[in-house]
Amino acid sequence: MTFEELLKELTLEKKVTLLSGRDFSTAAGVERLGIPPIRVADSVSGIRPAGIEADLTTASFPNTACYGSTWYAELLGRLGGELARQARMKSAQVVLGPTINIHRDPRGGRNFECMSEDPLLSGRLAGAVVNGIQAMGVGACPKHFVCNDSETLRHFYDVRHSADSRTLREVYLAAWQHLLRTSDPVGIMTAYNKVDGAFCSENRPLMEGAGLDLEMPFPIFRGARLVKAVEAGEVAIGEVDARVLKMLELRDRTKACHGISTEKSIVNEKTNRLAWELAASGIVLLKNEQQALPLDLTQSSADTVAVIGEFARDPVITGGGSASCTPQYRSSPIDLWKEAADNAERYGRPGADVTYYNDDSPEPLLEEHQAKPVVWMLGQFKPGLKVPGSRLKITTRLTPSTSGDHTLAIRCTGAFTLSVNGETVLTGSDKGIPTEQFIFNHILLEIGTQVSMEAGVSYDIRLDMAGLPSSSSASQPPTRQASASKRHVSVLYAGRDEQYESEGFDLDDIRMPANQAALIKAVAATSKKTEGARAVVDVLTGAVCPSGRLATTWFKTLEDAPSFGHFPARKLEDGSVRIEYAEGVEVGYRSSQAAAGDRVRWPFGFGLSYTSFQYEGLGATAEEDAETAVLRCCVTVKNTGRVAGQEVVQLYVSPAKETAVSRPGKELKAFDKSMLQPGESRTVELAVDLKVACSYWDENEVAWRMEPGTYGVLVGGHAVPFSVSKGSSWNHL
């Protein structure tokens, strides 16, 4: 049947059903008419199985912040294709992502899920992922539209842009504009927050001409209310039909991947290689004093390498929230260093036994072993387990590497007892927290106690009725710090885990947990995934020439960030919740703080290499008489070093000197990443829509405005002028 014929067969109630979520990951279908349900799945870092607590593994890729630092659209297109393949194996028709909110403040809880502080880099790279996914018949749904750049009070805060629509247009909406210029996603996910007083999902200025088609996940708000509104004549049936047609079109666009029922997880070497390539391409080398890198493990120094840090044996796989996933395997950095240098220390990894009981029986209902001491049952319980009327215990053995007081902590809903060697050390009860906080911010449940332990002695840990969180934030053991001081080379694995970076909350500050900051040297890697561990080793040892470039400005202090003092959201005396975007368009490198230079530790676009590149012959021409006016630039890049490497050519445009508004000193307008062999030269040609290159948002005209004048092109430390003779206004993508 045609879509119109299907519409005639649908009752009003069934039409509304098609516009509604059925559970966390499924939109309802109508079996009688052969309209299948739609399954959606997070995320672009690894396709999750159905259900929040499902434990089926998946291929795990680097976080989205790493994608941003690759500056490599072609590679992200290949990632999209693989994500589509993984989605098919998980019976999903739509991938929820990528996330293209802006790195506005370094404390943003979901910065790891987002590409960059720059709208063009964010939008173009996200467009490549979308195109890769949809070329395989799976849909992509980028998120979150718009200004969902903070997690604090995200359901309540209001972003007021009515007095400054230029900031909204040039920074936050611009990322979506660049995305939609280069791709056609099947859907867009709206943000949680308000903009100018209205929630994004019902914001007419933002949604005009689009409308909200699908309400996800559940429980739904519209449902019976919408049915009654139509019957009362408050909503036209034509409005509902238009939304239903969109949902039918979605099923048609994803028809190639319907009908798969059994979810699978298959380890594939080609997939693993892609994950490694993404991680390696996104690693940014920030310092290399006295050419200390790459390490040469063929020499005697290989006998004096210290590998330090909790993450060296148990690496962080993901941040918290909807982007988290269970990987098919983990590459332990310490094991990979052992492959590279036979004397690298190796430490064990904890596990736990979980036993489930029904209260009416002393016999165990189920026994299982888990890599982490975590039990998660959100709406899906173990077969045969009576709820209420059941209990469980988690047992493990802990052997500390240092003597002294150690913190044991739990997160649970309900009553619990924690014991060490049979002695109770902590008891309590918790009534629980809202479901969303339980999913994304369960650290709020944490209760801990300190227990004195001796190094090398094993302790039996037992927890009744609840789960024990793992923590990677403990201080580095003094013995390992001392070990490092005796080595010629120290490799430290540091950072934050999902306790610190997650959907649902922002960071209070940007300090590293415990004493990690005192040990951090030389390399920053944004990758946190299964193949990320191998990629770090390969970069440090020179098997890979680093080619990542920062996608976000690193200011010297938190106070130097333009958003400091205006982040996160706060509750006002009148009860409203606001977040101020007082820095306006001066986000990251666009700001006066960044332009001054002395407040920036590492600038946007920065990254070192093991080779060197030379730029020459930069030229720029504005072709105003073409059907589509275009700025054409070319530059020759030569690898003047001794090893092959990839260079990222970054094209910035500086505004005309005579301009009606204050504008950033430069803005990224195009980029290209190329591999060059030693001594090889390549001419890179970049073409940019002239209006996109030169325009700003004119609040008086309510349109984009390109002014005549002399602009500048900046590439690789070189600058040339170009002229625009005719001004114009425009109002489209």
DSSP labels for 270-324? HHHHHHHHHHHHH-EE---GGG--S--TTSGGGGGEEEESGGGTS-----BSTT-
688-697 b/e with 16+ CB inside 10 Å = b? Answer: bebbbbbbbb
Closest to 496 (Cα-Cα) out of 509, 481, 479, 482: 509
CA 65 to chain centre: 6
pLDDT at residue number 342:
54
Give the span between the Cα atoms of 676 and 615, in whole angstroms.
13
Task: Please state which of the ranges 220-234, 533-547, 579-593 shows the lowest mean pLDDT.
Answer: 533-547
pLDDT at residue number 241:
95
Q: Which residue is listed with tokens 């070189």?
A: 718
| pLDDT range class, residue 92, cuts 50, 70, 90 | very high
| pLDDT range class, residue 268, cuts 50, 70, 90 | confident
Task: Please state which of the ranges 78-82, 355-359, 375-379 shows the lowest mean pLDDT.
Answer: 375-379
Using an 8 Å Cβ cutoff, are 131 and 182 in contact? yes
Give the span between the Cα atoms of 725 and 678, in whole angstroms.
42
CA distances from 48 to 85, 91, 254, 565 (A): 13, 10, 18, 37
Residue ranges per structural domain of the chain: 1-33+222-253, 269-344+483-596, 352-464, 611-730
pLDDT at residue number 657:
86
What are the φ and ψ backbone dihedral angles of 704, each rounded to 5 degrees? -75, 140
pLDDT at residue number 343:
40
Greater confidence, 152 or 321?
152
Give the span between the Cα atoms of 333 and 612, in whole angstroms.
29
CA-based R_g, the chain, Å = 27
pLDDT at residue number 162:
64
Give the span between the Cα atoms of 546 and 531, in whole angstroms.
16
21 DSSP assignment: B
* Cβ partners under 8 Å of residue 338, min gap 6: 344, 346
Residue 344 pLDDT greater than 70, yes or no: no
Task: Please state which of the ranges 293-297, 379-383, 471-475 shows the lowest mean pLDDT.
Answer: 471-475
Q: Dump pLDDT digits (tens) for 2-54.
A: 999 999 999 999 999 999 988 888 899 999 999 999 999 998 999 988 765 55
What are the φ and ψ backbone dihedral angles of 21, each rounded to 5 degrees? -80, 145
Residue 63 pLDDT greater than 90, yes or no: yes
pLDDT at residue number 528:
41
Residue 105 pLDDT greater than 80, yes or no: yes
Closest to 590 (Cα-Cα) out of 667, 492, 484: 667
Residue 466 CB: number of other CB atoms within 10 A?
Answer: 25
* pTM confidence score: 0.80
Closest to 327 (Cα-Cα) out of 133, 76, 56: 56
Q: To the nearest whole number, what is the mean pLDDT of the chain?
A: 86
Residue 566 CB: number of other CB atoms within 10 A?
Answer: 17
Q: Which residue is listed with tokens 């165990």?
A: 364
Residue 344 CB: number of other CB atoms within 10 A?
Answer: 20
| Cα torsion 599, 604, 605, 609: sign | positive
pLDDT at residue number 484:
45
Closest to 457 (Cα-Cα) out of 396, 399, 397: 399
Give the span between the Cα atoms of 149 and 98, in whole angstroms.
14
Query: Which residue type occupies 729?
Result: S
* Cβ partners under 8 Å of residue 291, min gap 6: none
Alpha helices in 357-449 (DSSP H): 435-440
Give the span between the Cα atoms of 580 and 316, in whole angstroms.
33
657-678 b/e with 16+ CB inside 10 Å = b? Answer: eeeeeebbebbbbbbbbbebee
Residue 294 pLDDT greater than 70, yes or no: yes
Greater confidence, 649 or 307?
649
Q: Dump pLDDT digits (tens) for 636-659.
A: 999 999 999 999 999 999 999 888
Task: Please state which of the ranges 294-298, 447-451, 534-538, 598-602 shows the lowest mean pLDDT.
Answer: 294-298
Q: Which residue is listed with tokens 């672009």?
A: 44
Residue 269 pLDDT greater than 60, yes or no: yes
485-497 b/e with 16+ CB inside 10 Å = b? Answer: eeeebbbbbbbbb
pLDDT at residue number 522:
40
Closest to 718 (Cα-Cα) out of 622, 645, 615: 615
Using an 8 Å Cβ cutoff, are 201 and 21 in contact? no
| Cα torsion 491, 497, 500, 501: sign | positive
Residue 402 pLDDT greater than 70, yes or no: yes
pLDDT at residue number 339:
75
Reading across the β-sheet that carries 139-145, which strands appear in turn? 26-27, 38-41, 94-99, 139-145, 189-190
Mean pLDDT of 377-399: 80
Using an 8 Å Cβ cutoff, are 462 and 418 in contact? yes
Mean pLDDT of 241-261: 89
Cis ω for the linkage preceding 294 (within 30 of 0): yes
pLDDT at residue number 24:
81
Q: Dump pLDDT digits (tens) for 457-515.
A: 888 899 987 533 333 333 333 344 444 444 456 777 777 777 667 777 788 887 766 55
Out of 2.30.130.10, 3.30.559.10, 2.60.120.260, 3.40.50.300, select the CATH number for domain 352-464: 2.60.120.260
pLDDT at residue number 131:
98
Helix (H, G, I), strand (E, B) or coil at 63: coil
Give the span between the Cα atoms of 332 and 345, in whole angstroms.
12
**CATH code linked to domain 611-730:** 2.60.40.10
Mean pLDDT of 534-554: 92
pLDDT at residue number 292:
86
Q: Which residue is listed with tokens 């479901």?
A: 435
State the fold for domain 269-344+483-596: Rossmann fold (3.40.50)
Give the span between the Cα atoms of 44 and 323, in whole angstroms.
8
Which token pair is 731? 């109002």
Give the span between the Cα atoms of 277 and 266, in whole angstroms.
19
Query: Which residue type occupies 388?
Result: P
Residue 299 pLDDT greater than 70, yes or no: no
Using an 8 Å Cβ cutoff, are 187 and 250 in contact? yes
Which strand (E) or helix (H) includes residue 230?
A: helix 223-231
Helix (H, G, I), strand (E, B) or coil at 3: helix
* Cβ partners under 8 Å of residue 38, min gap 6: 26, 27, 29, 93, 94, 247, 250, 251, 254
* Cβ partners under 8 Å of residue 180, min gap 6: 123, 127, 733
Which token pair is 303? 């006998």
User: How large a percentage of the chain has pLDDT more than 70?
Assistant: 87
Using an 8 Å Cβ cutoff, are 477 and 453 in contact? no
Using an 8 Å Cβ cutoff, are 140 and 97 in contact? yes
Residue 685 pLDDT greater than 70, yes or no: yes
Greater confidence, 259 or 608?
608
Give the span between the Cα atoms of 127 and 188, in whole angstroms.
12
Which strand (E) or helix (H) includes residue 173?
A: helix 173-182
Mean pLDDT of 291-303: 69
3-state secondary structure 437-477: HHHHCHHHHCEEEEEEECCCCCEEEEEECCECCCCCCCCCC
| pLDDT range class, residue 518, cuts 50, 70, 90 | low
Which token pair is 264? 């699978």
pLDDT at residue number 619:
97
Q: Which residue is listed with tokens 């991938």?
A: 95
| pLDDT range class, residue 308, cuts 50, 70, 90 | confident
Greater confidence, 380 or 142?
142
Q: Helices 237-253 and 223-231 meet at what angle, rounded to 10?
A: 140
